[in-house]
Every structure is written in C-alpha cells, then in structure tokens.
Structure 1
Amino acid sequence: MSGYEARFRVWRGDEHGGELRDFTVAVNEGEVVLDIVHRLQATQAPDLAVRWNCKAGKCGSCSAEVNGRPRLMCMTRMSVFDRAETVTITPLRAFPVIRDLVTDVSFNYEKARGIPAFVPPPELAPGEYRMFQRDVDRSQEFRKCIECFLCQDTCHVVRDHEENKRAFAGPRFLMRVAELDMHPLDAAERSGLDRRRTAQDEHGLGYCNITKCCTEVCPEGIRITDNALIPLKERVVDRRYDPLVWLGSKIKRRSS
C-alpha cells in the first residue's frame, strides 16, 4: 500500500463537552491508527491528548473507539479501512472523559481492589504448591489480560447503564473471580470466603447475560464468556439450587 491522504474525525473536548473535528492526515504503508494520531499531534494538533505507552499491544494504554468499535489503536492497522472512508476516533464511551481521547478509568481500579486475593493453603509452605498442568493452562488464559478495559467498555451493562456501575464489577473482574474460584489451591472457602456468593451478591454476576461482546473485543483472544463467566454462573447455580450440592455443603460445614 503506497502512501495516501486519509480523512479522520477525532473527538476533541473535556468533561464539559466537545465535538468531532475533521482532519486530513498522511498515511504510509504498514501504519496503525496510533501512528496517525502521533502524526496528527506532530503536524496539526499538538495539544491532542492521548494515552499510550508500549505501542506493541501489551500495555493496554491506547484503548479508544475506532469507527465505533473498542480497539487498541496500536493494533488497528490502517489497511483494514477503505481509503475512501472517514476514520472516526473517539474516547471509550463507558468512562468519563478527561480530555480528548483520554478517559478516567479509575472505576476499574476500584473494582479490582474489591476482589479478595488468592488465599494460600495453610498446610503448604511457599515452594510446595503443586498443580496439574491442565489447571495451570486453564487459569493461564485469564492471566493474558493486559487490562486495556475494552471488555469493560463494550459491556452494555456498564456502557448503557451508568447506574449499574455501583453493583457490577464487569467482565474483567468477574473473570478474576472465576480464575480464583477455579484455582485448585485457593483456600478461600476454608477461610470463610465464599467467592461464588460474593460474585453474585457483591460483584453483580447476575447482571451478565452472556452476550459475548466482551470476548469479541478482547485483543488477547481470551474467551471471557465461555471459559470464565459461564462456568462461574454454573457454579453459582449449583451452589444455590442443586439440592445435592446444597446438602453436601451443609454436611461438610457441620463436620468441620
């Protein structure tokens, strides 16, 4: 692809309001959207605010919405767009705008602090943990998360209903709860912490209706819905409604 001039519409503004502004920017072969944003800063809009860091799809910093789809700008090649179309870049819609393409994602860090950490088994010392490889592989998928928060942004429970944010942790952090609940060495339940109950009652698992929109935008290809949220929902249902599971938990609690 030889160089050409592309039309862009970029959102400019702050928490008080803003607008889409039109620009024409040179595009060269092999470039990504973040390259164009940097060229725009260098040539036409030096005060354009944008968050970025690694430019390699591993830090999650340059999240934005490109033509309405949550994406990493550093991983979105210009070659996926028709030369004649106008490329629109806007900030993540689910979070408050600070300025231009930079949003306040502190909501996510607040939710992260609300997820209790791994509880080590008291009978094992560090270095004595042993797990089957299949258990390692299962949780390793979730650890690929780069915390770009694209899944949080596209989840309609958060995106379209601001009032849900207080009660709903979102797919990224429900995935974290699922990872810990699946961990064969996590001793949370033995310490009195019921991760499945907290997932439902404190982190809003019931709000999720498994539309898989979070999975569709994950740049790491994590199957958030199929491998984390649906299994977690199944565990919650078993705990609450399966009479055998319920009876077993009662017997185990009484014997302990």
Structure 2
Amino acid sequence: MTTTASTSYEALFRVWRGDTGGGELTDFRVEVNEGEVVLDIIHRLQATQAPDLAVRWNCKAGKCGSCSAEINGRPRLLCMTRMSVFSRTETITVTPLRAFPVVRDLVTDVGFNYTKAREIPSFVPPPDLAPGEYRMLQEDVDRSQEFRKCIECFLCQDTCHVVRDHEENKTAFAGPRFLMRVAELDMHPLDAADSAGLDRKATAQDEHGLGYCNITKCCTEVCPEGIKITDNALIPLKERAADRKYDPLVWLGNKIRRRGE
C-alpha cells in the first residue's frame, strides 16, 4: 500500500498589524494549499482569523501593482510570490512597504509617487507633425516599450535606499520609477522638449535628483516586469546628463548653437 504526501500544510505567518500610531508583528498559523500565492494566504487570514486585516489588492494577476508589500524583508507582489518558494517550516514575515507611511496593517500611503509623477513634464508633440503623422523606427518603439511595461507597483521606489533610508531626500529625488520616465521621454525621437525650451537632461539632474542614484541596481532586482531600470534607463540618462554638463565638445556645440539662434 502506498501513501501520498498531503499537498496541504500549516504555515507560520508573521504579519504586521498596526496603523499610523504604531504596531507589531502578529503570529498566525494558517493552512496552505498546493499552488497558492501569499495573497491567497492573506485572504484566508481575513476569512478565518483576522477579518479586519487591511491589504490593498485588485487584479491578482501581477498587472495592477496594488498588492506590494515586503515578504521576509524583500519588496514583492503578494499575488506573484508563490508559497512553493518557501520551505514548509519557514516563518513567513509580511510587512508593509518600509519607504512609505503606514495607513493600516499592510496598506501604505504611496501618495509620494503620484506627487513625483505630476512633476515630470509630459511628452511634447513635434510642432511640424499632426496626430497620425508620427513615425518611429521599430528600434525606438522597442526601447520605449520596455519602460511602458511598468505597472507602478512602486517596489523599485521602496527598495531604493535613497528614498528608503533618507526621508529628507524625498523632496529632491524622484526615484527610479520616475527617472525612468524622464529617460524614456529624453530618448523618444519625436519628443520636442528641446524646441519648447525644456532640457530633460538638465531637469533630471537639477530637479529630479538623478545625481543621488548610485546605480546599485536594487530597483532592477525587485521589478516584477523584469525592466532593466538601471542599465537601460538610469545609466544612459546619467551619461547623457554628464555629456551635456562636462563634455567640452558638447558644451562648445551648445554655445555655438545658441549664438546662431
């Protein structure tokens, strides 16, 4: 007679409970079934043991970015973290995003990110082309498309030590998600920001804190969409900003161009 190992087991979860006034980690023993993700377990806790547990979620498909939290200290999406990546004896700690103020339990106030989003000047249409006349090389389309995969989960913002460990930096630093947006617009072949008097490389450095980034690639490591934020956006933007500011040939060319205007 053969026996089949049970696909269900009991796991120890340690979940942060509290609000703006403070809180603590609370232990729960909870059932885990085959194929489940951490968000399934959080929902089971709500249904069976902690009906007032607050958690933000929406699509449960890794596309809305709502269920961001920290699992065993690493920023992750609850809905994309499978229970199978943990051992059955491992204690799983779920805490809110550390870089942002707690509202309640696992819900944080990510309003900082929307403030920064509004500070990024939008795409400037080319003045000599009407809508429908825009043409781009496929290579340029592909380059921008990578950045447009962003689901704004803000895991990159949370893990960036410039934001995470230094609250005083938030006023001067947009964070990797929005520096990536600046980089996307700066490399867009149809963006006419220069003709409108907007130097995106200068604003990246002077207004959005590009110089604070020291390219540790922690933002890339936590991106659930696999966007190479550091290599494909931040480093090239830094290089272009440095060329603009320090390359003598670029400086001379800009000076000659301004004289001819």
Post-superposition shift, 1:255? 1.7
> One-letter code of the match for 1:238?
D
Question: Which residue is equivalent to 1:66?
Answer: 71
> One-letter code of the match for 1:249?
N
Question: Which residue is equivalent to 2:34?
Answer: 29
**TM-score, normalized by length of structure 1?**
0.99
Consecutive unaligned residues in structure 2, runs of 5 or more:
1-5
User: How many corresponding residue pairs?
Assistant: 256
Q: What secondary structure, in the 3-state scheme, does the structure 2 residue paired with 1:84 have? A: coil
Question: Which residue is equivalent to 2:111?
Answer: 106
Deviating 4+ runs (over 2 angstroms):
none
> One-letter code of the match for 1:136?
V
Post-superposition shift, 1:147? 0.1
Question: Of the candidates 154, 160, 170, which is equivalent to residue 159 of structure 2?
Answer: 154
Deviations 1:64-85 (A, max 9, x none): 0000000000000000001001
Q: Distance in 2 between matches of 1:122 and 1:178?
A: 21
Consecutive unaligned residues in structure 1, runs of 5 or more:
none
Question: Which residue is equivalent to 1:11?
Answer: 16
Question: Of the candidates 225, 236, 239, which is equivalent to residue 234 of structure 1?
Answer: 239
Question: Which residue is equivalent to 1:93?
Answer: 98
Post-superposition shift, 1:87? 0.2
**TM-score, normalized by length of structure 2?**
0.97
Aligned-residue CA RMSD (Å): 0.6
Post-superposition shift, 1:249? 1.2
Q: What secondary structure, in the 3-state scheme, does the structure 2 residue paired with 1:25 have? A: strand
Q: Percent identity?
A: 85
Question: Which residue is equivalent to 1:215?
Answer: 220
Q: Distance in 2 between matches of 1:192 and 1:254?
A: 15
Question: Of the candidates 171, 190, 195, which is equivalent to residue 185 of structure 1?
Answer: 190
> One-letter code of the match for 1:8?
F
Q: What secondary structure, in the 3-state scheme, does the structure 2 residue paired with 1:23 have? A: strand
Post-superposition shift, 1:158? 0.3
Question: Which residue is equivalent to 2:123?
Answer: 118
Deviations 1:10-48 (A, max 9, x none): 000000000000000000000000000000000000000
> One-letter code of the match for 1:180?
L
Post-superposition shift, 1:135? 0.4
Post-superposition shift, 1:196? 0.5
Question: Of the candidates 235, 241, 250, which is equivalent to residue 255 of structure 2?
Answer: 250
Question: Which residue is equivalent to 2:209?
Answer: 204
Q: Distance in 2 between matches of 1:10 and 1:251?
A: 61
Q: Distance in 2 between matches of 1:240 and 1:157?
A: 23
Post-superposition shift, 1:155? 0.1
Q: What secondary structure, in the 3-state scheme, does the structure 1 residue paired with 2:15 have? A: strand
